[in-house]
Amino acid sequence: MSRFFFALWPDNATRAAIFNCHSQFTLSGQITDQSNLHITLLFLGKLNVDQQQTIIKEAEKIICSRFEICLSHTGYFEKSKVVWLGLKSTPDVLLELHEKLLSIAEKHLNLSPQQTYKPHVTLIRKCFSIGTQQILPITWQIKDFVLVESIDTDKGVKYQIIKRFA
């Protein structure tokens, strides 16, 4: 069984802008591969085929209007040594989407307890110092969300979109 998660998946222009953020400051660490940049909506863990089909069927019922977010600042998760790009404030529509997905997962899966939702894009892993970092804000038009499969490879983790939800 593979690991799965729901995510916001940037278009190519937004993806390039996010990727170029790390060039605005000098930090050591493992830079996230450009093709893997995303905002996790909900981590689901390992799913069998029946669970995947159920989750997809339920997620297709979600109605969510388009919205915009602004990635405007960096942060650092001390425990995991991760530098991230985040939102100054989280729009209600994004929180509602997360809650709808969480409700589906709690109903149909044996889901582990969730931490408080903090939407972010992981920029750098294994970074031991961040200091103060300033970035140019990035506006991201959200038109859909995706179900993603996390696949372990010899070259690291690869993410594959399984299904797009408008």
For residue 146, the one-letter residue type is V
* Burial class of residue 4 in the structure, from the number of CB atoms within 10 Å of its CB (0-12 exposed, 13-18 middle, 19+ buried): buried
For residue 64, the one-letter residue type is C
Which architecture characterizes domain 2-165 according to CATH? Answer: Alpha-Beta Complex (3.90)
* Closest-CA residue to 121 (of 27, 44, 21): 21
pTM here is 0.93
- What is the residue extent of each domain of the chain? 2-165
Partner residues linked to 138 by β-bridges: 71
**Residue-wise pLDDT tens for the chain (166 aa)?**
679 999 999 999 999 999 998 777 777 888 899 999 999 999 999 999 999 999 999 999 999 999 999 999 888 898 999 999 999 999 999 999 999 999 999 999 987 777 889 999 999 999 887 766 778 899 999 999 999 999 998 888 899 999 999 8
Task: State the DSSP H helix or E strand holding residue 74, giving kind and residue range, or none if neither.
Answer: strand 67-77
